[in-house]
């Protein structure tokens, strides 16, 4: 099973075992992932709250790749900055979003990471069709490295944000000339109006995704439970099995024949004395042989 968490690369000296010397750079992510019990996962390369360029030395990049190959099983994914808005009609924001995405794609190439994950963003009044056109234009203007794929993440669907409906995901695939993939966030999918609370509901939602988008485009899953119910459009994650998806829904997701072999990255909260380690262990307990 490919299961891990979104881990931080920050800090001065981190090591998860006695055999590997500590580092003060992006290699922290590998050690933290192992400490949580994960074997794949997600990172930010820089602060997601500001327009900043990743700063990764050649030595750190080489070490990161070596550590990943030696100690992890599944692929990493870089999550783009929160400020990126591919759908925006505003030229300045579109330019900044493109520059930020290009920097993340270049960082992924340098680190040997196969995916860069991004939300479509909000059309802010331009309309769904124009928003999707804007996003496709930005994507097609990017210089995507040969071994890197852009993943469009499903959204909770509040306000003018796009990506909450499977139709939006299919729409961006149809519009762009770039080979892109999809990352489904289970909490976002639920609150956007897709039931995932029972095995039957999971089967139905997966089938609708296949019919409308295509399972061949699904390459990563953000595995999160939700503090809010179906169709509420409220994005707040819960511990695995303790939110509105619940244990039955989560068990159905991680064992579904069309999903079980995909990499899962958790973005669950750290609260109630529990964090990523507890949630990863819970997922492993739900997994059937």
- DSSP H helices in the chain: 28-36, 58-71, 91-111, 128-141, 166-175, 186-191, 199-212, 246-255, 276-286
Annotate 270-284 with b (16+ C-beta within 10 A) or e (fewer).
eeeebbbebbbebbe
> Does 285 score more than 50 pLDDT?
yes
What percent of the chain is predicted at pLDDT more than 70?
95
List, for residues 35-56, the tens digit of each pLDDT value.
999 999 999 999 999 999 999 9
Instruction: Give the model's pLDDT for residue 289.
Output: 86
Q: What's the token pair of residue 115?
A: 């995916």
Average pLDDT, the chain: 95
List, for residues 62-89, the tens digit of each pLDDT value.
999 999 999 999 899 999 999 999 999 9
Q: What's the token pair of residue 121?
A: 């963003």
Distances (CA, A) of 195 to 7, 147, 231, 241, 248: 28, 34, 9, 15, 12
pLDDT band at 13 (very low <50, low <70, confident <90, very high): very low
List, for residues 218-275, the tens digit of each pLDDT value.
999 999 999 999 999 999 999 999 999 999 999 999 999 999 999 999 999 999 999 9
> Does 23 score more than 90 pLDDT?
no
Q: How many CB atoms lie within 10 A of CB 55?
A: 11
Instruction: Give the model's pLDDT for residue 11.
Output: 65
Instruction: Give the model's pLDDT for residue 10.
Output: 81
pLDDT band at 20 (very low <50, low <70, confident <90, very high): very low
Tell me the helix, strand and coil percentages in the chain, rounded to 5: 40, 15, 45
Whole-model pTM?
0.94
Reduced to 3 states, what is the DSSP secondary structure of residue 131?
Answer: helix
List, for residues 87-143, the tens digit of each pLDDT value.
999 999 999 999 999 999 999 999 999 999 999 999 999 999 999 999 999 999 999
pLDDT band at 4 (very low <50, low <70, confident <90, very high): very high
Q: Could you state, in order of their start, the residue ranges of all structural domains in the chain?
A: 3-286
Answer whether CATH 1.10.10.10 is correct for domain 3-286. Answer: no
Contacts of residue 117, Cβ cutoff 8 Å, sequence gap at least 6 = 42, 77, 78, 79, 80, 151, 153, 183, 220
Reduced to 3 states, what is the DSSP secondary structure of residue 276?
Answer: helix
């Amino acid at each position: 099973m490919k299961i891990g968490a979104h881990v931080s690369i920050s800090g001065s000296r981190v090591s998860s075992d006695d055999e590997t010397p500590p580092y003060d750079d992006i290699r922290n992510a590998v050690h933290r992932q192992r400490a949580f019990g994960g074997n794949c996962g997600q990172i930010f390369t820089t602060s997601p709250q500001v327009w900043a360029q990743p700063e990764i030395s050649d030595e750190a990049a080489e070490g990161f790749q070596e550590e990943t190959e030696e100690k992890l099983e599944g692929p990493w994914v870089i999550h783009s900055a929160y400020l990126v808005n591919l759908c925006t009609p505003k030229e300045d924001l579109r330019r900044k979003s493109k520059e930020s995405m290009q920097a993340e794609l270049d960082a992924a190439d340098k680190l040997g990471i196969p995916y860069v994950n991004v939300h479509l963003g909000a059309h802010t009044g331009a309309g769904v069709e124009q928003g999707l056109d804007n996003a496709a234009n930005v994507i097609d203007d990017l210089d995507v490295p040969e071994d890197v794929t852009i993943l469009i993440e499903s959204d909770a669907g509040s306000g003018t944000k796009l990506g909450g409906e499977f139709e939006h995901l299919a729409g961006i695939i149809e519009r762009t000339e770039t080979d892109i993939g999809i990352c489904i966030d289970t909490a976002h999918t639920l609150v956007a109006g897709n039931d995932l609370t029972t095995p039957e509901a999971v089967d139905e939602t997966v089938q609708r995704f296949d019919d409308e988008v295509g399972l061949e485009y699904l390459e990563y899953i953000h595995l999160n439970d939700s503090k809010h119910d179906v169709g509420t459009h409220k994005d707040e994650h819960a511990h695995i099995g303790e939110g509105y998806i619940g244990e039955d829904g989560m068990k159905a997701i991680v064992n579904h024949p069309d999903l079980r072999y995909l990499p899962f990255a958790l973005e669950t909260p750290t609260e109630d004395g529990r964090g990523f380690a507890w949630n990863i262990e819970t997922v492993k307990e739900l997994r059937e042989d």
